[in-house]
Amino acid sequence: MRLALGVSYNGQAYQGWQSQPSGQTVQDQLEQALAQFSTVPIGTLCAGRTDAGVHGLMQVVHFDTELQREPFSWVRGTNRFLPPDIAVQWAQPVPDSFHARASAVARRYAYVLLESPVRPSIEAGRVGWVFRPLDEAAMREAADHLLGEHDFSSFRASACQALTPVKTMKRIAIARRGAYWRFDFEADAFLHHMIRNFMGCLVAVGQGLQPPGWMREVLLARRRDVAAPTFAPDGLYFLGPVYEDHWGLPQRTAAYDGLP
């Protein structure tokens, strides 16, 4: 049987998603919990790897197992062995043709940013921070240059393993609630550090350090060294993959309701 899980996590304590020898990754913690619950080793494949310090509201994984359990048992049983900052939100049997990564038609991220003269305290590690005021109209104009299919080499980390830098940005939304900004991004796929590099440039425009049209110049240059420095991972959230309706998988979890 192939099973899909929706997993949420606070990424502050972990070295990203992907398994590492240290064992201090979200994937390592999840697979250890699954093994304890099922009493057999279980390897998972995810919809999208996240970096150290990045959070996940609905990471989706799949794995194959011969163990027959009700979906709610997989949720409660696995959560019993997970640390408090990681939780399985749902479990659902899927056809063998489903693949957490390959079946996704898009991926969604959000970046939450605090604009305040004082650094975050309670929200430390869960929001990015700027102390200079941001110009929403300028950032929206700059973001428009990123929409559509482009070569995003200027926003790609040197360690990126993607086969091509060409991706399609489907949506960028910018909204403000009090002192908090929220930037939403949806694309067919993302490059390593792509959103954090977007954020560095958007903040530079929002603070008036660069004009909105500079974003297009950065994009067309296809050189990482012309863009702004990579922004902090603290406020970055993987909202989850987008699947076609026929798979019947959840599109959101309760964790969404707590995000500004």
Strands 128-130 and 106-115: parallel
Q: What angle do CA 101, 24, 5 make, to 5 degrees?
A: 35
Element (H, E) at 129: strand 128-130
CA distances in angstroms from 211 to 97, 137, 253, listed in the order given:
47, 11, 38
Task: Give the SS3 label for residue 11.
Answer: helix
CA 198 – CA 169 distance, rounded (Å): 12
199 DSSP 8-state letter: H
Closest Cα partner for 260 from 155, 173, 182? 182
Q: Could you identify the residue written with the tokens 């792509």? A: 194
Characterize 93-115 residue by residue with b for buried, 16 or more Cβ atoms within 10 angstroms of its Cβ, and e for exposed: ebeeebebbebbeebbbbbbbbb
Residue 81 neighbours by CB under 8 Å, 6+ apart = 32, 33, 36, 37
Active site residues: 51
